[in-house]
A and B are shown apart, each in its own frame.
Chain A
């Protein structure tokens, strides 16, 4: 509640506030609203992953538009300890199956917005070549839109992609049934850099 002593808003401030609200609202509602049963859970998620799952930090993956199946399985893996992350572990631990499915459904239906990543053209070209060579599109599909349990990676944060590839390579992340650890094992640091540039630059 606003204090009595606070001066009334100027017209400009009101306009600005209204505009900001509209912008924020648009971002938050980039798709259908969440099921009322998980409203508070969504609030927890978006604190890091951004409104509607459009994260603004490379430390947190974009969830907007991600495949529901993938989101559900990752939440399940965090909950059951097959994937580990100090922030995610305690958040996923109390979730029920119904909540995980509802969260997956919600974020999968939000519209992904560009991260604003500025790519290095030479690295993008090298990344595209590497992607074709190691058959990324066989699972992730062309343009990295993913399918079912295979995640959408197109336009994901550069830092996040780079970290995941490095984690698969070093077997710090092993909840992939062996597919990504196998491919990542063949990648050099330069390959990882180029792939991250290429994929983050996709829209």
Chain B
């Protein structure tokens, strides 16, 4: 995971990252009272497996954080479209009681919206007026460890139950009707640097969830819990006990030399290869699931410590890789690594999308794609992981792969990307994927640092932004079949939050300066904008109630790039 708050990027990344770490004490909001307690809507129905599987074709509901099991974030309705989006107006604004970074993707079921905030509050509201049904506040344990804000990215739903991961590394099941806790289970030890911010995914009665902690020396994983009672069903470690040294790759996935001293690494590895328990590889964004082949796809984050590689010789598998595992057993199927032995924190984060694209011979095939911090979109054959192509760079790249030094070596992109955790969206008709990118020139610094014992930030150096060098964002459309950039929209600040595409051939994206914008999906022409008054750094969702389409997005700002904080979800519709 990589994340640096702007205050910290301004000088020493180490510093600002640190202030996001804390005990639960004193962090909370005051006056978190509830506005109303309207009786729960009778329209709230249990979500069946069939509904979850067919979500991609259901314009009424938004029941996966990324729209469907394929994570396409492609909304199938077209009532709001490129021709009329200019008339979009706010329908209501829902204010939470928590003024802090919002990264939530609301879930909507028959007009009932479930949204989350920092510090693991959940609200159930009426998705037409914003009236509140219930408000749940997680009782936080005494220890929480997280690098980049007390974020939460949303709930998953199955049957009548919501599932949320918490900052104190628990999985909580809530009754959707009332917000009552049905069960909770400890996923991992927060005192060792584990925490949860991702939205889980539920499939076939299993709740799948990974972990944060790549900055703290965790051993990453994806775990499956029984949706009924929270019992652990299987664990797949993103760091294998044996074989994490890999193939001693010289080049990255795009064929560029990473300047590794393989001989020195091999010698170090021969002396000590026992570091797998602290090698990182957090899996902190929602996996994609292919029900046809019963396969779970995700990307694994950076090795720990981020910049000091000498202490962890080898390719550090499966860090910085796309990984496919068996849904029923959690067993390995394949992996494809982007950067072996990463020392830049340019890890793989943005959720995998399952779609189709032309292979090298021009035949349309099933693919799994990922938007990287490197600024490339990587397109893999879904059954084998073979890399079919990678896109043109979406952001400037310079001096790759210069090794970090004590005094700092400049390289682009900076450690936040490219594409950070922000989910991409696709438009299959137009053959495009849309990615929110950052451009932050940085210098990379290395510092010798033994494992500090968990839950202490362990970067092994720092990444620093460069005073005087402009930072910006890029919303970029990439052709899936060619890898060419179709269009690009520059923004004044780096982009974090994620994209929504719709069958109305619009792309929605938010900015740190409060603008929430709609673009023509084909050309990138800006069609509409609205200023939400706080950073729009969350992915938008869309749904219909009583035949009317709505678009919802959180405007809570962002800890990582220090975008102005807010506490609201804005919901838009045509009059």
Contacts and interface: CB of A to CB of B under 8 A. Distances in A.
Interface of A: 68-69, 72-73, 76-77, 80, 82, 97, 101, 104-105, 135, 138-139, 147-150, 174-179, 181-182
A56 B16 CA distance: 33
Interface stretch (B7-15, B153-161, B484-492, B521-529): B7-15
Contacts of B457: 149, 177
Interface of B: 7-8, 11-12, 14-16, 18-23, 25, 142-143, 191, 305, 308, 447-450, 452-453, 455-461
B12 to A, nearest CB: 5
Given A177-B460, A181-B449, A182-B447, 8 more contacts: A77-B453, A80-B453, A138-B12, A148-B18, A149-B22, A149-B456, A178-B449, A179-B447
A177 B23 contact: no
A179 B14 contact: yes
B191 A69 contact: no
B452 A177 contact: yes
B22 A177 contact: no
B11 A178 contact: no
Nearest to A150: B18
Contact of A148 (B19, B191, B308, B460): B19
A101 B142 contact: yes
Contacts of A176: 452
A72 B23 contact: yes
Contacts of A175: 452-453, 456
B564 to A, nearest CB: 20
A82 B452 contact: yes
B361 to A, nearest CB: 50
Nearest to A69: B23
A101 B143 CA distance: 9
B21 A148 contact: yes
Q: Which 9 residue pairs spanning A and B have beta carbons closest together?
A: A178-B449, A138-B15, A139-B15, A177-B452, A148-B22, A178-B447, A147-B19, A182-B447, A138-B12
Contacts of B23: 68-69, 72, 101, 104, 148
Main SS class of interface, B:
loop
13 contacts: A68-B23, A73-B453, A76-B191, A77-B453, A139-B18, A149-B456, A174-B450, A175-B456, A177-B452, A178-B447, A178-B449, A178-B459, A179-B449
B191 to A, nearest CB: 7
Nearest to B445: A182
A203 B265 CA distance: 49
A139 B452 contact: no
B456 A73 contact: yes
B21 A149 contact: yes
A177 B18 CA distance: 11
A105 B25 contact: yes
B90 to A, nearest CB: 37
A10 B450 CA distance: 62
Contacts of B461: 178
A177 B459 contact: yes
Contacts of B14: 138-139, 179
A135 B21 contact: no
Nearest to B448: A178
Contacts of B12: 135, 138-139
A181 B457 CA distance: 14
Of A69, A97, A174, most buried by chain B (CB within 10 Å of CB) is A69
B144 to A, nearest CB: 10
A104 B22 CA distance: 13
Contacts of A150: 15, 18-19
Contact of A135 (B11, B19, B22): B11
B449 A97 contact: no
A109 to B, nearest CB: 10
Contacts of B449: 177-179, 181
B21 A69 contact: yes
Contacts of A69: 21-23
A76 B145 CA distance: 15
A177 B8 contact: no
A150 B8 CA distance: 14
A138 B447 contact: no
A16 B83 CA distance: 87
B460 A149 contact: no
A174 B460 CA distance: 13
B24 to A, nearest CB: 10
Contacts of A179: 14, 447, 449
A76 B453 contact: yes
Contacts of A149: 18, 21-22, 455-457
Nearest to A104: B23
A175 B23 CA distance: 19
A150 B447 CA distance: 18
A181 B453 CA distance: 16
Nearest to B307: A178
Contacts of A68: 23, 25
A201 B22 CA distance: 27
Contacts of A174: 450
A201 B80 CA distance: 63
